[in-house]
Amino acid sequence: MDLKSTYNTIAKDWDDDHAKDTWWVNGTDKYISFLPKGASILDVGCGAGHKTKYLADKGFGMTGIDFSEKSIEIAQENFSEGKFFVKDIREPLGFQENSFDGVFAQAVLLHFPKEEVLAVLKNIILPLKPGGYLHVAVKELRPGEEEEETVKESDYGYDYERFFSYFTIEELKNYLQKLDMEIVYESVTSSGKRSWLQIIGKK
C-alpha cells in the first residue's frame, strides 16, 4: 500500500487518535511570533486541518494542502471556513511565487526518503515571499536506529504501513542553509516514545 492510499484508509482513525496532541503548540506559537498580523500561511500536509484552524483562529489567512483526498474531506468538515486543496508536494503546487508570508510543514518531510527532502523543500518554498518564514517539524533520529524505515502497524484494528525518515537537528539546519535560509529557531520536544524536532527559517 502506498502512503497516499494508507492515509486515505486511516484518515478518520488517525484524526481521532491525534486530535488532542499538544507537542506542536509551543513551536507553532513561536512561529506565530515571527509573522505579521493577518499573514497568509500555506499549511503543507495539513491532514485533518487542526493546525490550519489553530492558526486561522489566531487571525492568519490559511490555505491547507494534502495529498490524501480523505484527509482533505475531514479537514473541510473540521474547519468549514478553510481553503483546502488536494495536492502532492512532489509536484508543482500551482501557487504564484511570493504569494505566502509563511509555509508550515509539520510532520510532512518525515514521509520522504532523505534523498528527496531538499527537492521537496525547494518546491514548497517557491510560493514563500522573501522575508517569509518556513516551519518544519520531523521526528528525531535516536542513537543506533535506522535513518529510514517502513513501519507496519495495526493500531486501528487493521494492517497498514508507512515510510518514515528520522532526522537530527544538524541535518535540518543543513537543509535550510542549502536553501539560503536564516535559521531563527530550533527546538526538541519530547512526545511519548520519540522526540520532535522543530525549526524555523527565514527566506
| Inter-CA distances, 9 with 2, 14, 63, 68, 111, Å | 11, 9, 23, 9, 16
> What pLDDT was estimated at residue 26?
95
In this structure, what C-alpha cell is assigned to residue 13?
482513525
Instruction: Provide the mean pLDDT of the chain.
Output: 95
Torsion on CA atoms 29, 30, 33, 37, rounded to nearest 10: -40
Residue 192 has pLDDT above 80, yes or no: no
Query: Given this model, what pLDDT does residue 191 score?
Result: 80
- Here the cell at position 169 is 537537528
Global pTM reads 0.95
Question: Which residues make Cβ contacts (< 8 Å) with residue 126, sequence separation at least 6?
Answer: 93, 95, 97
**HEC letters along the chain:** CCHHHHHHHHHHHHHHHHCCCCCCHHHHHHHHHHCCCCCEEEEECCCCCHHHHHHHHCCCEEEEEECCHHHHHHHHHHCCCCEEEECCCCCCCCCCCCCEEEEEEECCHHHCCHHHHHHHHHHHCCCEEEEEEEEEEEEECCCCCCCEEEEEECCCCCCEEEEEECECHHHHHHHHHHCCCEEEEEEEEEECCEEEEEEEEEC
Look at 19 and 107; give whichever has higher pLDDT.
Answer: 107
pLDDT digits 0-9 by tens, 89-131: 999 999 999 999 999 999 999 999 999 999 999 999 999 999 9
> Which CATH number is 169's domain given?
3.40.50.150
Q: How many domains is the chain built from?
A: 1
Closest CA to 45 of 3, 99, 1: 3
Whether the predicted pLDDT of 59 surpasses 80: yes
Question: Beta 100-106 vs 40-44: how paired, if at all?
Answer: parallel
Domain that holds residue 175: 3-202
**Over residues 66-89, mean pLDDT:** 96
pLDDT at 1 (0 to 100): 65
